[in-house]
Amino acid sequence: MCASKENPAKCEMRGVTGFLWAKKLSAADIHHELCAVYRPNIMSEGVVSQWVRFFKDRRTNIHGESRSGRPSVVSADLMKESDEKIRLLRNFTITQL
């Protein structure tokens, strides 16, 4: 019996999926293997099927791709400044912040 792993990284799960797909296992069998080794519902069968399709389309990158959208503007300095203001003035409004 295999030892269970607590919190595997997403890229690890995708890599294992790619490995098992290369061994000609079906998406359902891959899902069953992942659940047996890691934990039940570690990845949904639909997500496993999606990654099998990606590998069939010759995708080799198992890391998440960057997404479009507004980048985050929160920095450590901004968080520190906001926290200091909140602690200094407990009765403030958002516009004062």
Residue with tokens 């792993």: 5
How confident is the model at residue 70, as a pLDDT? 76
C-alpha dihedral over 13, 22, 36, 45, to 10 degrees? 70
pTM exceeds cut of 0.85:
no
Give domain status of residue 96, yes or no: no
How confident is the model at residue 22, as a pLDDT? 94
Q: What domain count does the chain have?
A: 1
Determine what percent of the chain is predicted with pLDDT higher than 70.
91
How confident is the model at residue 26, as a pLDDT? 94
Give domain status of residue 44, yes or no: yes
Give domain status of residue 26, yes or no: yes
Give domain status of residue 24, yes or no: yes
Write out residues in the chain with pLDDT < 70, as ranges.
1-5, 66-67, 96-97
How confident is the model at residue 1, as a pLDDT? 45
- CATH number of the domain within which 53 lies: 1.10.10
Give domain status of residue 87, yes or no: no
Give domain status of residue 73, yes or no: no
Give domain status of residue 71, yes or no: no
How confident is the model at residue 9, as a pLDDT? 85
Which domain range does residue 42 map to?
10-57
Q: What is the pLDDT of residues 14-40, one digit of tens each?
A: 999 999 999 999 999 999 999 998 888
